[in-house]
């Protein structure tokens, strides 16, 4: 699910320049409440996570910086957390897939 940064922006997106996008995603079925990705030319430049396991998610965010979206999706897709059918990494992969396919863009 997308969440607007503020009322003056399109849902889920903040255009900062022609190449840098901020993309917010509300994950489902995990402890984290929101992911905020900064993406430039198909590469993650920053990740911030609200909620969840702070140390783990801070580490994941640092590891993702500089990675291509497709690489992150391939690494994270399908990972589960304990008895849950999904995980924060899996939810990140789903968010980035939506971003790439345009499924997340406002109609």
**Alpha-carbon distance 19 to 34, whole Å?**
23
Q: Which residues contact 96 (CB under 8 A, 6 or more apart)?
A: 37, 69, 72, 73
Contact 32, 88 (CB under 8 A): yes
Mean pLDDT (10-residue bins), the chain, 107 residues: 40 55 95 96 96 92 96 97 95 96 65
Report the pLDDT value the prediction gives residue 75, as an integer from 0 to 100.
Answer: 97
């Amino acid at each position: 699910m997308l969440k607007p940064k503020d009322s003056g922006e399109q849902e889920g997106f903040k255009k900062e320049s022609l190449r840098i996008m901020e993309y917010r995603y509300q994950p489902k079925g995990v402890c984290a409440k929101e992911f905020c990705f900064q993406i430039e030319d198909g590469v993650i430049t920053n990740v911030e996570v609200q909620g969840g396991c702070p140390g783990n998610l801070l580490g994941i965010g640092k590891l993702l910086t500089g990675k291509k979206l497709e690489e992150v999706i391939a690494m994270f897709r399908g990972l589960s957390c304990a008895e849950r059918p999904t995980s924060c990494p899996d939810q990140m992969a789903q968010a980035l897939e939506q971003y790439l396919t345009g499924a997340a863009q406002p109609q």
